[in-house]
Amino acid sequence: DAGVTQSPTHLIKTRGQQVTLRCSPKSGHDTVSWYQQALGQGPQFIFQYYEEEERQRGNFPDRFSGHQYPNYSSELNVNALLLGDSALYLCASSEGQGGQPQHFGDGTRLSIL
Amino acid sequence: AQSVTQLDSQVPVFEEAPVELRCNYSSSVSVYLFWYVQYPNQGLQLLLKYLSGSTLVKGINGFEAEFNKSQTSFHLRKPSVHISDTAEYFCAVSETGGFKTIFGAGTRLFVKA
């Protein structure tokens, strides 16, 4: 039973560029959440997708957007990259009801030069 | 708004000694509580969760936590640690019925031989 898979594992971009990160949830899970984890900090909630719609959003600018497909996989898009966007981006999946434990992928390490 | 405070940024302990990692939360509504562990270059793994019922929760790898509503705490304990327990530990909270999970800044547990 595959867990949460994320791609790519590492990515290097320059300021101003755009990036797309991908996530496949654990089998049987229909909800995907995205987190940003800066070095030495806890994960910060970006947003959550359920039934192909953004269900809740954290305190992140509109440069951060996402999408969920009918097979529950998800993408995180970040436009106009800033140096401060350098972080580990984590995807987590869970079942539909709120508050359920989440299963995390190993993340995508994004470095902005 | 919810918040999570992990009272110790680092906890050094000798192998086979007991350990307690402290977590306090703030919320105006009822909550679910979680502890996650993160090993280097990996995502987060759920150790244990409190959703309702008994305030003493047992998790994987010999860890347990106690929910104290009056003190708004959810401290993590293990009676005897191993070198392999060296990792970053995160306390997290979500509103009952909500979708957003708030994480603490993490506590680095360092087990010495």
Return mean pLDDT, chain A: 93
Residues with Cβ within 8 Å of residue B3, at least 6 apart in sequence: B25, B26, B27, B102
Beta carbons of B43 and A56 less than 8 Å apart:
no
Beta carbons of A45 and B104 less than 8 Å apart:
no
A90-106 in b/e form (b: 16+ CB < 10 A) is bbbbbeeebbbbbbbbb
Q: Is A7 on the interface with B (CB under 8 A)?
A: no
Q: Which of A71-80, A99-108, B56-65, B69-78 has the lowest mean pLDDT?
A: A99-108
pLDDT higher than threshold 70 for residue A104: yes
Give the phi and the psi of residue B104 in degrees, each rounded to 5. Answer: -75, 175
pLDDT band at B2 (very low <50, low <70, confident <90, very high): confident
User: Residue type for B82, please?
Assistant: H
pLDDT value for B96: 80
Considering only CB atoms, B46 lies closest to which of A41, A42, A101, namely A101
Nearest to A68 by CA among A102, A99, A37, A93: A93
Considering only CB atoms, A42 lies closest to which of B41, B43, B106, namely B106
Rounded to a whole number of angstroms, the distance from the CA of B16 to the nearest CA of chain A is 27
pLDDT higher than threshold 70 for residue A99: no
> DSSP secondary structure string, A22-53?
EEEPPTT--EEEEEEE-TTS--EEEEEEETTE
pLDDT value for B42: 86
Is the bond preceding A43 in cis, omega lying within 30 degrees of 0? no
Chain A stretch 54-93, residues whose beta carbon is closer than 8 A to a beta carbon of chain B:
55-56, 58, 90, 92
Q: How many CB pairs under 8 A join A and B?
A: 64
Beta carbons of B105 and A102 less than 8 Å apart:
no
pLDDT higher than threshold 80 for residue B1: no
User: Residue type for B80, please?
Assistant: S
Q: Which of A5-19, A85-99, B53-67, B83-97 has the lowest mean pLDDT?
A: A85-99
Nearest to A63 by CA among A45, A85, A80: A80
pLDDT value for B86: 97
Rounded to a whole number of angstroms, the distance from the CA of B97 to the nearest CA of chain A is 5
Beta carbons of A99 and B100 less than 8 Å apart:
no
Give the pLDDT confidence of A34-80 residue by residue, as tens digits. 999 999 899 999 999 999 999 889 999 999 999 999 999 999 999 99
pLDDT higher than threshold 90 for residue A101: no
Query: Which burial class, exposed, middle or buried, applies to A22 when counting CB atoms under 10 A from its CB (0-12, 13-18, 19+)?
Result: middle
Q: Is B32 on the interface with A (CB under 8 A)?
A: yes
pLDDT higher than threshold 70 for residue A98: no
Give bridge partners of residue B91 from the DSSP assignment.
B35
Q: B55 in the Ramachandran plot: left (φ > 0), alpha (ψ -120 to 50) or beta?
A: alpha
pLDDT band at B29 (very low <50, low <70, confident <90, very high): confident
